[in-house]
Amino acid sequence: MKIGFIGLGIMGKPMSKNLLKAGYSVVVEDINQEAVAEIVSCGAQSASTAREVAEQSDIVITMLPNSPHVKAVVCGENGVLEGAKPGLILIDMSSIAPLASQEIEKACAAKGVKMLDAPVSGGEPKAVDGTLSIMVGGDKAVFESVKDLLLKMGASAVHCGDIGAGNTTKLANQVIVALNIAAVSEAFMLAKKAGVDPHLVFDAIKGGLAGSTVMNAKAPMIMDQNFKPGFKIDLHIKDLNNAIETGHGVGAPLPLTAAVMEILENLHFDGCGQDDHSAIAKYYQKLTGTVIE
């Protein structure tokens, strides 16, 4: 079985490396030739276009920034569908709008290509160690046929429903993560301004009801003022835009999401869009003139 992998960014690079470590034959493509060269040095082959990737592959994985990128790579000129043979499986692991996944799946079906939407959660650290959480939409039988492959990149892979359900689940995840980071930032600023060491607050509450995977991962980064991106603010803006648009479409109120979205947009215009989303803390630091450290 040969795997095509398109999109070698912060997440795609370690994910493709884990497939190589698991013994899969992998062909890769990306506009960043340095990233391609790095994966080729680990044992992959390279292709010049998405079409060439599909021509050589049984399964094609895409890991791209947003809906337009996936549409162009799959449906555009020299795209996956131009090179795909009937029966090829496309696994889009990007985080995109659920309606976009459904549109792309229709184009795939017309070419005899099966598609799953399978976004991930866990950021770069879990991509590196292969413990991502993978949420999948699409045909259950297709999911079962590739589940072992997915588990080479993640600790869990859960079938959530029909096509688009994976990305709906990811949007719910991103809402919870963004609100959680904002709550941690707000609470730790309260402690700092009140004269209580945020490190001690973290130690005291992390084992209680307020404890969370998000707080365990992001509170130390905030206190160290380490905002090296595992997941960038600009990408979280994209996800919350998709969440709000989807919410409007289905009648789901998202007032807290909208509030955090304003914080993220403010940070973007302050030049922090490439920072880790833990930099939500910078918004509170800007308002108070106090650093959480």
Residues with a catalytic annotation lie at 170
Sign of the four-CA dihedral 282, 188, 238, 275: positive
The separation between the first and the last C-alpha atoms of the chain, rounded to the nearest angstrom, is: 50
d(CA 54, CA 224): 44
Percent of the chain as helix, strand, coil, to the nearest 5:
55, 15, 30
- By the 10 Å C-beta count (0-12 exposed, 13-18 middle, 19+ buried), 77 is classed as exposed
Whether residue 159 contacts residue 258, with contact meaning beta carbons closer than 8 Å, is answered with no
What tokens does 285 get? 């630091």
User: In Å, how far are 32, 209, 236, 274 from 97, measured between CA atoms?
Assistant: 24, 32, 13, 21
- Report which of 36, 41, 33, 38 is spatially closest to residue 4, judged by C-alpha positions: 36
Name residues whose C-beta falls within 8 Å of residue 259's C-beta, 6 or more positions apart in sequence: none
Q: What is the DSSP string of 29-41?
A: E-S-HHHHHHHHT
Is residue 265 within 8 Å of residue 221, measured between CB atoms? no
